[in-house]
Amino acid sequence: MLTLYHAPQSRSTRMLWLLEELGADYHIEYVDIVRTVVPGGAPDPRNPHPLKQVPAIAVDGVVLVESIMLMLYLTDRYEGLAPTVGDPKRAEYLSWLGLYNGILEPVVQAKFKGPLSPVQADAYAELDRRWRGALGEGPYLMGEQFTAIDILFGSLLQWYRTAMPDYPVYDEYLERISHRPALAKAMAKDAKTDG
Ligand SMILES: N[C@@H](CCC(=O)N[C@@H](CS)C(=O)NCC(=O)O)C(=O)O
């Protein structure tokens, strides 16, 4: 059994969405991540993440962390939402994962805190061009097929629309991906309801 360590309305919400899209059999362990939100908050001992963050997954006692690695692992384990090994589009999939994690997310976090440095501003402008170019061809980031990359990038836009500039292509994309049944199922599980 696969366990997702999850806190509502966080980066693990997109893993719920992914697991629902994949039709995976999984268990949710709700954990608290209050330690950086509430001064003096205590790390949740139930959370196996070395930094007490979410998301994390555990499979047969082995813990895996970092959103893009979870995406890679899950889309390899349950096929259908990403090109598999040997597929020529696999390189593009891996590139999107790397660009998101290595450049876009850090730059967006920096943008949230204040003005970007010239290097960050250049990287941001280039990624904006790339993302818009891909969406212009669309309808999804990798073309005709909805993939896990759409969950990664789409969830960023859902939570923080101003992460990307005010172009209609982003709003149209957001509208396109936000009515999926798997997302509705994930949102129904996002917060713990049984105490
Ligand atoms: N690079 C990590 C970032 C994980 C992360 O920052 N998670 C936040 C929730 S959105 C968290 O757990 N924060 C609590 C903390 O840092 O104490 C990933 O994408 O998995």
d(CA 120, CA 57): 31
* From 12, 54, 72, mutation site for ligand 1 pocket: most ligand atoms within 8 A of C-beta: 54
Q: Is the peptide bond before 118 cis (omega within 30 degrees of 0)?
A: no
Take residue 7 and report the two structure tokens written for it.
């806190």
Q: How far apart are CA 96 and CA 6, in angstroms?
A: 24
Structure token pair of residue 78:
């349950």
Domain that holds residue 172: 90-180
pLDDT at 28: 98
Ligand 1 pocket member 49 (CB < 6 A):
no
Are residues 8 and 53 located together in one domain of the fold?
Answer: yes
End-to-end Cα distance, the chain: 22
- How many CB atoms neighbour CB 69 within 10 A? 14
Domain-located, residue 10: yes
Mean local confidence (pLDDT), 53-64: 96
Residue 54 CB–ligand 1 contact under 6 Å: yes
Q: Is the pLDDT of residue 37 over 70?
A: no
pTM as predicted: 0.95
Domain-located, residue 130 = yes
pLDDT in tens, 73-97: 999 999 999 999 999 999 999 999 9
Would you say the CB of residue 11 lies under 6 angstroms from ligand 1?
yes
Q: In terms of C-beta density within 10 A (0-12 exposed, 13-18 middle, 19 or more buried), how is residue 56 classed?
A: buried
Atom of ligand 1 nearest to the CA of 55: 20
Alpha helices in the chain (DSSP H): 13-22, 67-77, 90-99, 105-113, 118-137, 148-159, 168-177, 181-190
Q: When comparing pLDDT for 195 and 178, which is higher?
A: 178
> Which strands form 62-65's sheet, in the order they lie side by side?
26-30, 2-6, 56-59, 62-65
Question: Same structural domain for residues 172 and 134?
Answer: yes
- Do 76 and 105 fall within a single domain? no
Domain count, the chain: 2
Residue 121 CB partners (closer than 8 Å, separation 6+): none
Residue 129 and residue 167 in one domain: yes
Task: Say if residue 66 is in the same domain as residue 112.
Answer: no
Atom of ligand 1 nearest to the CA of 70: 20
Q: Is 145 domain-assigned?
A: yes
Whether 9 is in the pocket of ligand 1, judged by its Cβ within 6 Å, is no
| Distance between Cα 154 and ligand 1 center (Å) | 17
pLDDT category of residue 41 using cuts at 50, 70 and 90 = confident
d(CA 121, CA 128): 10
Note the pLDDT of residue 195: 58
Name the amino acid, one letter, at 192.
K
* 3 Cβ below 6 A of ligand 1: no
- Whether 195 is in a domain gets the answer no
pLDDT of amino acid 40: 73
- Per-residue pLDDT reduced to its tens digit, 142-192: 999 999 999 999 999 999 999 999 999 999 999 999 999 999 999 999 998
Q: In the prediction, which pLDDT does 36 show?
A: 61
Q: Are residues 94 and 66 in the same domain?
A: no
What are the pLDDT digits (tens) for 96-149? 999 999 999 999 999 989 999 999 999 999 999 999 999 999 999 999 999 999
User: CB neighbours (10 Å) of residue 146?
Assistant: 20
Pocket flag, ligand 1, residue 10 (CB < 6 Å): yes
